[in-house]
Structure 1
Amino acid sequence: MDAFLQRVWYERHAQWFSLLLLPLSWLFGAVAGVRRAAYRRGWSQSFRVSRPVIVVGNITVGGTGKTPMTIWLAERLRSRGVRVGIVLRGYGGTSTQWPRDVTDETSADEVGDEAVLLARRTGALVVAGPDRVAAAKRAIERGAQVIVCDDGLQHYRLARDLEIAVIDERRGLGNRRLLPAGPLREPPSRLDGVALKVLTRRAQPSSSITLPNAIVTTPVLGEAVSLGTGERRALQSFTGSRVHAIAGIGNPQAFFDALAGRGLTVDAHPLPDHARLTEADIAFPDGAPVLMTEKDAVKCPPGADASRLANCWAVRLDVAIGEADAQAIDRLLDRLLATH
C-alpha cells in the first residue's frame, strides 16, 4: 500500500487516483487548519521550556533527510561547547513508560529506530516520548542547554524558537495535495513561516521544486561497518559483484540509487518505514553482502546467526553543506544562543 501511494503522490501517470481521495484530503485539511488556528489564537496551549528549542521537520510524509540534518546540527552545536538534547516521538517504540532516556544500548523495539540511531551518532542527550514537552523537560533535567526536536514541525504543543523544514529536492511536494490524496501534512504555505528551508539534493539539481533562500545539503555515503565483526570497509570494495540492499526508511529508493551511484550492483529490498527486521530479512542463499542503512542496522535481531551478521553491513550517511550555507546556519544559531 505504501509503495502504491508513493506512485500516486509522485508519479504523474498515477496521480489520477488521488482525485478519488480528494474528499478525504479536504477533511484532513480542515481538521489540520482548525488545529493550527487553535494554537495560533490561544485556544490550545503551547508550552515553552526553559531552554531554546529548534525543530527540524518536514511537511511531507516520508524521508526528506531530516534525521541526517538533525545529526549535523547536533554536531555543529556540540562543536561550540553546547550540550544538546534531542527529543523525538519514539515512533514504533513499545515502551509503556514515557519519556525514555535513550543510549546506544537501548533497544530499538522499545524506543524506535531513529532514537537509537541518534544516540549512537551524536552522543547527545536523547529522550523519546510522544509528549515532546515532557521529553524536552527531561532532557533539560539531564543538562541539555539546547533542545533539538526531530520531526516535530506539527507538534505545536511544544513552543519553538527556530523551525527548520527539510524538503527532498527531487520529489519536492509531489502533487501538492494534502493527505491522503497527496503527501502533504500541511499546505505549501506552511513553508513561508519557517526560519530555514533545507533542500536535500540527492543527485543532479532538479526542477521539481524551487524555494527562494533555501540552503542545499547533499547526502554522502560513508564507509560500511560489519554488524558481526565491526570491520570497516570502503564502499568501493563492494564493486564488481552484486550486493543485497535493505532499506526500511521513508524513501528507500534514495538509498538504492546512492549505492548504484557509487558503482555497486544492487539487488534492492525495500521495506516499510520503521519496519522491524527479522532474520529472514537478512538471509539470502547466494551469500552476497547485505548492505543496509544505519537506521535499519539498529533493528537487526540480536539473536541472529553471527556468521550472517558478519556479512551484513551498515552504511554511514552524512550530509555535506557548503561553507556559505553552513555560515548562514551559524548566524541563526548565534542569534538563538545570544537571546537565551
Structure 2
Amino acid sequence: MIEKIWFHRHPLGYVLAPLLWPLSQLFKLISRQRRQSYMAGDKPRYRAPVPVIVAGNITAGGNGKTPVVIWLVETLQALGMKPGVVSRGYGGKAAKYPLVVELDTPSSQSGDEPALIKRRTGAPVAVDPVRSQAVQALLQHDVDVIITDDGLQHYALERDIEFVVIDGQRRFGNQHYIPFGPLREGLERLDEVDFLITNGGQAQSNEIAMTLEPSDAVNLKTGEKVPVNSLSQLVAFAGIGHPPRFFKTLETLDAEVIKTQAFADHQAFEQSELQQLAKQGKHLIMTEKDAVKCYQFAEDNWWYLPVSANISAQDKQNIIEKITEVKSQYGSSST
C-alpha cells in the first residue's frame, strides 16, 4: 500500500497525510543535517587509496542499481582493471564483519545482491554495514577500483564518482521524503552527481538511457540455457524491489506465464512454499537475484532469467573516460 501512496497517489495518502507529512519533514531535516556534518568535516570520513565509485539512488526501493554495478565491473574488467565491490549486505546476517564473499557463501549471510554480483562477475566482494571496513578488506585482494553497491547516502566513505540510478517508469513518485514519499534525499542532489542513469521509461536530456536486456532462461540445477518462450505453463515469482518489472519482462518475451507471485524484497523463501507454487504449472521461473537463495533446494524444472544493463556506446565511452581520468590521478606523484 505504501508504494501506491508514493507512486500512484492513492486516496489513502491524503487520509494519512497529517501523520506522514510531519514525519517526512523530520526525515528531511535529519538527512540534511547528517550530510552537512560529513561535508563540513564534523564527522570523520574514510578515503581509500584507490578510486571509489558509488552506484546508488535517492529513492527507496529497487531501481536497477545492481545491474549497473555488474555492468561497471564487467566493463572495467574488460579494460584490464581489477574492480572490487562493497555492499552493506542488506538482508544478510554474517557471524562477523567484514565478510569477504565466496561462491559458496550463503546469501543469508552475504545478502542477495553481493551473492549475485560474485556469481556473475567473479570479482572480489566484501560486505560490511560499515563500508570503509569492507573497502579495507578488499584492499587485501589486489583491487585497483572500488565500486559500492548502493551507499549514496553513506557519507562516512569518501567517493570519487557518483552514479544515481532512476526508475524510468516511477521516477520520484510524489517527490516527498520517507515515509510520505520515496525520497531519501531531495531532487537537488541530482545536480551534484556525475552520472544519472535511467532504467527504462524516457530518459531526460541530462540522463543516460539504460535498458535491461534479458537473455535465455538458465536452469538452476544443470545450467542449461533455453529461450524463455520455449518453456510452457510458467509460474513466475519475484522477491525484488519492484516485482511487476520482472513480470512485464516475461510478457515482452512472449513467455507463457499462467501465474505470478510477488514477494517482499529480500524475503527468505521456504522450500515447501516454492515447491507448492511450482506445482501450479510445469516450470518455475524467477529472477537471478532470487535464484541465489534457491540453488540448494532447486527442482529440475526451476529456472531463472538473467538480465544485463544495456548502455549506448557513446555513454559507455564517457563513463570509461571519467573513471580512467580519476584512476590516473591516483597513480600520479601528486597523490
Q: Secondary structure at the match of 2:315?
A: helix
Aligned partner letter, 1:323: A
Task: Please state how far the C-alpha of 1:124 moved relative to its aligned partner.
Answer: 0.7
Moved more, 68-77 or 319-328: 319-328
Q: Deviations over 1:71-104 (max 9, x none)?
A: 0000111111111110000112121200011022
Relative to structure 1, is the Cα distance of residues 320 and 77 closer, same or farther in structure 2, using a 3 angstrom cutoff?
Answer: same
Aligned partner letter, 1:321: I
The equivalent of 1:19 in structure 2 is 17
Which of 257, 265, 278 is residue 273 of structure 1 equivalent to?
265
Q: What does 1:212-231 align with in structure 2 at a 5 Å threshold? A: 212-231=205-224
Q: What does 1:176-255 align with in structure 2 at a 5 Å threshold? A: 176-201=175-200, 205-206=201-202, 211-238=204-231, 241-255=232-246
Task: Please state how far the C-alpha of 1:236 moved relative to its aligned partner.
Answer: 2.4
Relative to structure 1, is the Cα distance of residues 64 and 18 closer, same or farther in structure 2, using a 3 angstrom cutoff?
Answer: farther
1:279–1:301 contact (8 Å) kept in structure 2: no
Following TM superposition, where does structure 1 have runs of at least 4 consecutive aligned residues deviating by more than 6 angstroms?
Answer: none
Task: Please state how far the C-alpha of 1:17 moved relative to its aligned partner.
Answer: 4.5
Task: Please state how far the C-alpha of 1:325 moved relative to its aligned partner.
Answer: 1.4
Task: Please state how far the C-alpha of 1:168 moved relative to its aligned partner.
Answer: 0.6
CA distance in 1, matches of 2:15, 2:290: 31
1:226–1:309 contact (8 Å) kept in structure 2: no
2:220–2:295 contact (8 Å) kept in structure 1: no
TM-score by length of structure 2 reads 0.94
1:277–1:301 contact (8 Å) kept in structure 2: no
Moved more, 261-270 or 168-177: 261-270
Q: Secondary structure at the match of 1:166?
A: strand
CA distance in 2, matches of 1:309, 1:62: 30
Moved more, 161-170 or 283-292: 283-292
Q: Secondary structure at the match of 1:264?
A: coil
Task: Please state how far the C-alpha of 1:197 moved relative to its aligned partner.
Answer: 0.5
1:89–1:130 contact (8 Å) kept in structure 2: yes
Aligned partner letter, 2:306: R
Q: Secondary structure at the match of 1:29?
A: helix
Task: Please state how far the C-alpha of 1:281 moved relative to its aligned partner.
Answer: 3.3
CA distance in 2, matches of 1:280, 1:218: 34
The equivalent of 2:4 in structure 1 is 7
Q: Secondary structure at the match of 2:216?
A: strand
Moved more, 48-57 or 262-271: 262-271
**C-alpha RMSD of the superposition:** 1.4
CA distance in 2, matches of 1:328, 1:185: 27
Aligned partner letter, 2:209: V
CA distance in 2, matches of 1:213, 1:287: 44
Task: Please state how far the C-alpha of 1:329 moved relative to its aligned partner.
Answer: 1.1
Task: Please state how far the C-alpha of 1:18 moved relative to its aligned partner.
Answer: 5.5
Q: What does 1:159-170 align with in structure 2 at a 5 Å threshold? A: 159-170=158-169
What count of residue pairs does the alignment treat as equivalent?
Answer: 325
1:289–1:312 contact (8 Å) kept in structure 2: yes
Q: Deviations over 1:186-231 (max 9, x none)?
A: 1111111101110001xxx44xxx6442111100111111112222
1:18–1:182 contact (8 Å) kept in structure 2: no
2:6–2:173 contact (8 Å) kept in structure 1: yes
CA distance in 1, matches of 2:16, 2:185: 17
Q: Secondary structure at the match of 2:73?
A: helix
The answer on 1:137 being equivalent to 2:136 is: yes
Which of 248, 255, 265 is residue 264 of structure 1 equivalent to?
255
Gapped regions of structure 2 (runs ≥ 5): 331-335
The answer on 1:87 being equivalent to 2:86 is: yes
TM-score by length of structure 1 reads 0.92
Task: Please state how far the C-alpha of 1:301 moved relative to its aligned partner.
Answer: 6.3
The equivalent of 2:307 in structure 1 is 317
The equivalent of 2:333 in structure 1 is none
Aligned partner letter, 1:228: K
Q: Secondary structure at the match of 1:36?
A: helix
The answer on 1:118 being equivalent to 2:117 is: yes
Q: Secondary structure at the match of 1:269?
A: strand
Task: Please state how far the C-alpha of 1:19 moved relative to its aligned partner.
Answer: 1.9
Moved more, 224-233 or 176-185: 224-233
The answer on 1:282 being equivalent to 2:280 is: no
CA distance in 2, matches of 1:246, 1:278: 13
CA distance in 1, matches of 2:314, 2:23: 42
1:278–1:300 contact (8 Å) kept in structure 2: no
CA distance in 1, matches of 2:159, 2:319: 17
Q: % of aligned pairs identical?
A: 38
The equivalent of 2:285 in structure 1 is 291
Aligned partner letter, 2:133: A
Q: Deviations over 1:127-159 (max 9, x none)?
A: 011010010011011111000000010100000
